[in-house]
Structure 1
Amino acid sequence: MEASQVKGNPRQPEAPMRITFLGKDPDSDKDDCPSLYDTDRNTYLVQGWRTETVVEPGQTCVEVPRRLMVRMVNSSQLEAPDDERPVEITLTDRDTYLIRGKAVVDAEALAAMSIPAHEDVVEVPLALRSAVRKEYAGVLES
């Protein structure tokens, strides 16, 4: 059986991801990073510094300043319901978040971003909003 078929049904290639820039770290004075994006897949893309955190294949982890999340107010997805997928986010003692999720491999989405060699991009579910709201309310433990 060919890789593009599953039980005789052709597998449709996934359409390129469309992204909308929400903003960068307010204190970043050069390039567009760290940054936050909406996607047309009911997810967010978080562009941040690469970490040495061990993750599963197909996953990555980025570190971003906590203050980057204020850019979420620009999202067109604020009223969309969270899905049931959990988001892996940890508040550090450096006032940053470690965010783990799916490594972004969509060539068109990546081409639309300016990504320095020391950075990576992670795709996370809309539940990121709830996690950040809880943390700001003092619920998320560091």
Structure 2
Amino acid sequence: MRLRFLGKGGSDLGGCPSLYTTDHGSYLVQGWETDRPATVEIPHLLLGYAEPDTFIGAPMKDTGRGTFTLAGRPVAEREILEQLDLASDEVAIEVPKTRRTFYGALSSA
């Protein structure tokens, strides 16, 4: 899987929560490990790095402290993990990339 870095934030240390797009049409989310399997915690600001007209296609839960938790496919492949700068308290998951769809009507002005 090839990754393209989109952005990071949430920590002033080396590796920090990051967002990547993949050549599989998905997003790879690097986030803080939680006590739930395949679930990471990321700062709200990380969503701002999503590609235009796309969204992270996984349900997110607002923690109430400026972060979301979300779950996805755990990334364990060595060749993928070697491309990341993971801090000791971080893991990576793969989530769907959803395209924005327009459901409204154009005004006839």
Sort the TM-score into its range (normalised by shorter chain). 0.7 to 0.9
Classify 1:95/1:124 alpha carbon distance in 2 versus 1 (closer, same or farther; 3 Å): same
Which protein is bigger by CA-based radius of gyration?
1
Aligned match for 1:69, one of 44, 47, 56: 47
Deviation at 1:87, TM superposition (A): 1.6
**Over 6 Å off, 4+ runs:** none
Match of 2:7 in 1: 23
Q: How does 1:1-142 map to 2 (within 5 A)?
A: 17-25=1-9, 27-53=10-36, 55=37, 60-72=38-50, 75=51, 78=52, 87-127=58-98
Query: Given the two structures, how large is their TM-score scaled by the length of structure 1?
Result: 0.62
Answer 1 or 2: higher relative contact order, Cα 8 Å, separation at least 6.
Answer: 2
Q: CA RMSD in A?
A: 2.0
Deviation at 1:79, TM superposition (A): 5.1
- Structure 2 unaligned residues grouped into runs of 5+: 101-109
What CA distance in whole angstroms lies between the structure 2 residues aligned with 1:28 and 1:50?
Answer: 14
Deviation at 1:108, TM superposition (A): 1.4
Query: Given the two structures, how large is their TM-score scaled by the length of structure 2?
Result: 0.80
Between structures 1 and 2, the one with greater strand share: 2
Contact 1:88 1:101 in 2 (8 A): no
What CA distance in whole angstroms lies between the structure 2 residues aligned with 1:30 and 1:117?
Answer: 11
What CA distance in whole angstroms lies between the structure 2 residues aligned with 1:111 and 1:38?
Answer: 16
- Structure 1 unaligned residues grouped into runs of 5+: 1-16, 131-142
